[in-house]
Amino acid sequence: MPQSLILVNLLIKLGVAASAASILGRSVEFKSLLFREERNWKQQIYLVLWLGIPMALGVWVRFVQTSFLAGDLSFETAILLGVIGGRFTGVLGGALLGFPALLHGEWATLPFMVLCGLLAGQMRRLAPGRDDIWSFSPFIDLSIYRWLRRNLPTPQLFEWQTIFFVTIVALRFLHAQIHRLLPRATFSLESPTWWVELLIYATSVMVIGTELKIWNSVRIQIKLEEQERLLLNARMEALKNQINPHFLFNTLNSVSSLVRFDPDTAREMIIKLANILRRLLSSSDAFVPLREEVEFIDNYLDIEVVRFGRDKLRVLKELDAASLDVMVPSMLLQPLVENSIKHGLASKIEGGSIRLRSRLSDSQLIIEVEDDGVGMAAANLLEKPTGLGGTGIGLANVAERLKVLYGESARLTIDSREGKGTLIRLRVPVLHGEEGAAALYEERSSTRR
């Protein structure tokens, strides 16, 4: 074969390997099999089928189109399956990859591929850690440099990546010798020119290293997405937990003001508070139906009505029945109602009223909490000191939670006029059922990376 044609096939071989690794890396099922630390025998078989069948077809193409040799990646794939999946996977994959050659008379290919898979699987067992496998570099000079830097102070004879490199080269050399002795029993691309032969060896190492690098990039991305999801969960829990002590502190203040002169009412408030806390402790859902939020607010307002007096705190509801089944963030309304009471009505001698409204409009849920209290500037409303002695975390917390959960598709607006009252309006996307809320949560987790 002309040397130029060999070089062209080597370049195409690298391209085929990179393309195949990239295409397979986009499959969710393949990724779930590839990046498992441990696999049962069924998962190992599935991994062999996912990677082995396309590469076995490449071997078959070599017999159909004799001038196209770059599709035969059986040697490299057998080693990849062994080092990724272990000895069983390597042996099974080697047998699958050698089978098409066996059907065409190359009987030595199958046992050699099985040997490659077995030795590569043994190399997996010898690896100090799984990261050593995924971080394998085809550039041996860099591996030697890292080995020298790491081992000069305390010399060690064993360096896994270098040994793995030597194993690939040794197996490639053994394959070449079998081909020279039994040219019809197996196929191996060879050249009488030393530097072309050197490139053939280098290409095999490059193919294995390139595919591992591509899949390692996908592996790192998956880990980053998982860390982002965990961070989002932690952030949501922190925001949610920030509300509960705030609410508890203010409610206990209300109870303490009644203990001395009205113990029966104080006892009733404690019972209602216990019901509220039981609900908070028993539910860890990020989203709940609006109906549950309204029921929770009813319990909260029962406590506040006792404190203010039924003649000074009136609650009016205008709730669209269709909106009550829409999923909303848990503990969404309580901070809004609390702000209306604390900052709008508490300082108004004659008391006032709170209106709760909900309706659906253009695939959005609109929730309004309006009071006829003293009113104040929207900016001040977010910064008003609370019973905790800090800044007003209520509305700021709600705004932050909406941003985390919905991004730009949700909005919180405040329309407040001094002496007239305050209107807080929420616009959030319509989510029906737990599936819709879960889908939004997953989408926000992926778009935040």
* Residue 97 to residues 57, 355, 377, Cα–Cα distance (Å): 9, 72, 73
CA 144 – CA 165 distance, rounded (Å)? 11
* Residue 84 to residues 20, 78, 79, 147, 166, Cα–Cα distance (Å): 16, 10, 8, 22, 17
Greater confidence (244 vs 317) lies with 317
pLDDT of residue 311: 75
pLDDT of residue 65: 78
* Residue 407 to residues 203, 229, 404, 425, Cα–Cα distance (Å): 47, 15, 6, 17
Q: What sign does the CA torsion over 75, 80, 86, 92 have?
A: negative
CA 87 – CA 130 distance, rounded (Å)? 15
pTM of the model: 0.59
* Residue 229 to residues 33, 398, 444, 445, Cα–Cα distance (Å): 21, 20, 9, 5
Q: What is the pLDDT of residues 99-127, one digit of tens each?
A: 999 999 999 999 999 999 999 999 999 98
pLDDT of residue 400: 78
Are 224 and 445 in contact by the 8 Å Cβ rule? The answer is no
Concatenated DSSP letters for 194-221? HHHHHHHHHHHHHHHHHHHHHHHHHHHH
Least confident of 128-132, 314-318, 347-351: 347-351
Instruction: Encode 407-428: b = buried (16+ Cβ within 10 Å), e = exposed.
Output: eeebebebebeeeebbbbbbbb
